Amino acid sequence: MQEMVFSWQHVVNGNGLAISITGMGIVFVALMLVSLYIAMLPRLAGFFNKIIPPAAHHCGMEPAPSGPVEAEIVAAAVAYLHKNKS
């Protein structure tokens, strides 16, 4: 079995330094493009809203009830049972 030897000379011989710098450059440029896109998104949304106005969406949801919601009632019941358990 051949013994593996690790050294920086193998990295230099295989152009490892150039490959790693190129990879870091590609990732940097890609992240910069994503960052610029996110920064420009509000302006793009405003521009597209002028061209194509958003439609009024009615989801059919009813207004929130004024009394206690079912989840609140269940939470109160569980808290009561937890406090008064023997």
Q: Are 14 and 20 in contact (CB under 8 A)?
A: no
The whole-model pTM stands at 0.50
Q: How far is CA 21 from CA 16, 32, 40, in A?
A: 9, 16, 28
Write down the pLDDT at residue 37: 96
- Residues 41 and 47: their CA atoms lie apart, in Å, by 10
Task: Please give the chain's pLDDT, 86 residues, in tens.
Answer: 678 888 888 888 888 899 999 999 999 999 999 999 999 999 998 888 888 877 765 666 666 667 777 888 889 899 999 999 86
Q: Are 26 and 20 in contact (CB under 8 A)?
A: no
Domain ranges across the chain: 1-56
Write down the pLDDT at residue 2: 78
Write down the pLDDT at residue 65: 62
- Residues 36 and 44: their CA atoms lie apart, in Å, by 12
